[in-house]
């Protein structure tokens, strides 16, 4: 998404380093592009951790990566979508996102397709256009977004175990939405949905930004 502003802090670097330690052997072993999904509530650090993870792959191991944002797959552009929520709060949820299209694009990448046409949100202009992404020589694809635990065509799912209450200060710093009582209602609804996705995770990022394999993965 063009126009998004990241606020990267030391804790995001800590989490990305932990993820890298866990996943590096699997990435090296993989014969094709390795797809990682990072999910969590608003302000939990998804975009920031994805950015640092991508940076570390390049800087430390010379691995090319691409970040795909779930935000590009919203049905409506951000400001329009925010207004639709205010018109009807029942609008909030996974149906706001074209998850099936995102999964379809990921499947094509797994099957070896090197050029993908995907949606692209222009935040300041409140519109959705399209971009072409070339995956030649890409070793890791990082998908980040609130509902990415629902994706099927992913090697490893990562869940950030921080609630919208934990992330209040981070949300204020990014200032993507008006911080009011209505937003708190939206975030509470999202919390109720996203918290049920934790059992799908392979890796859990804790509230203090450590990372470990989930119980599901260790069984």
CATH number at residue 121: 3.40.50.300
Q: What is the pLDDT of residue 109?
A: 93
Mean pLDDT value across the chain: 92
- pTM exceeds 0.75 for this model: yes
Share of the chain above pLDDT 70, in %: 92
- The DSSP code for 107 is H
Q: How confident is the model at residue 37 (pLDDT cuts 50, 70, 90)?
A: very high
Q: How far is CA 60 from the centre of its chain?
A: 22
- Say if residue 200's pLDDT is above 70: yes
More confident residue, 107 or 166: 107
Whether 61 has a pLDDT exceeding 60, the answer reads yes
| Domain-located, residue 1 | no
pLDDT over 60 at 175, yes or no: no
User: What does the pLDDT average to over 44-54?
Assistant: 96
Q: How far apart are CA 191 and CA 55, in angstroms?
A: 29
Instruction: Give the pLDDT score at 48.
Output: 95
- Taking 70 as the threshold, does the pLDDT of residue 217 lie above it? no
Residue 126 lies in a domain: yes
Half-sphere exposure of 101 (CA within 13 A, CB side): 18
15 domain-assigned:
yes
4 within domain boundaries: no
pLDDT at 215: 79
| 130-134 own/partner pairs: CB under 8 Å, 24+ apart | 133/66, 133/68
Look at residue 45 and tell me if it is in a domain: yes
Total domain count for the chain?
Answer: 1
Structural contact between residues 103 and 141, judged by C-beta atoms closer than 8 angstroms: no
The 10s digit of each residue's pLDDT in 135-170 is 999 999 999 999 999 999 999 999 999 998 887 776
Answer whether residue 2 is part of any domain. Answer: no
Cα–Cα distance, 159 to 199 (Å, whole number): 9
pLDDT of residue 53: 98
Asked whether residue 173 carries a pLDDT value surpassing 70, the answer given is no
**CA gap 92, 205 in Å, rounded:** 25
Q: Is 110 part of any domain?
A: yes
Residue 38 within any structural domain of the chain: yes
> Which residues span the domain enclosing 140?
10-218
């Amino acid at each position: 998404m063009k126009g998004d502003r990241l606020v990267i802090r030391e804790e995001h670097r800590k989490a990305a380093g932990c993820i890298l330690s866990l996943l590096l052997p699997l990435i090296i072993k993989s014969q094709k592009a390795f797809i990682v999904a990072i999910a969590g509530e608003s302000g939990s650090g998804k975009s920031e951790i994805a950015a640092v993870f991508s940076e570390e792959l390049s800087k430390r191991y010379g691995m090319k990566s691409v970040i795909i944002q779930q935000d590009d797959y919203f049905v409506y552009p951000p400001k329009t979508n925010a207004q639709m929520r205010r018109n009807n709060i029942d609008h909030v949820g996974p149906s706001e996102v074209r998850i099936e299209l995102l999964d379809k694009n990921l499947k094509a990448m797994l099957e070896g397709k090197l050029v993908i046409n995907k949606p692209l949100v222009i935040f300041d202009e409140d519109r959705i256009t399209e971009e072409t992404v070339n995956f030649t020589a890409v070793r890791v694809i990082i998908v980040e977004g609130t509902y990415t635990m629902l994706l099927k065509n992913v090697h490893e799912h990562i869940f950030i175990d921080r609630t919208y209450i934990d992330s209040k200060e981070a949300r204020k710093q990014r200032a993507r939405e008006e911080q009011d009582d209505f937003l708190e209602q939206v975030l509470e609804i999202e919390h109720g949905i996203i918290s049920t996705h934790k059992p799908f995770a392979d890796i859990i990022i804790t509230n203090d930004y450590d990372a470990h394999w989930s119980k599901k993965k260790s069984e």
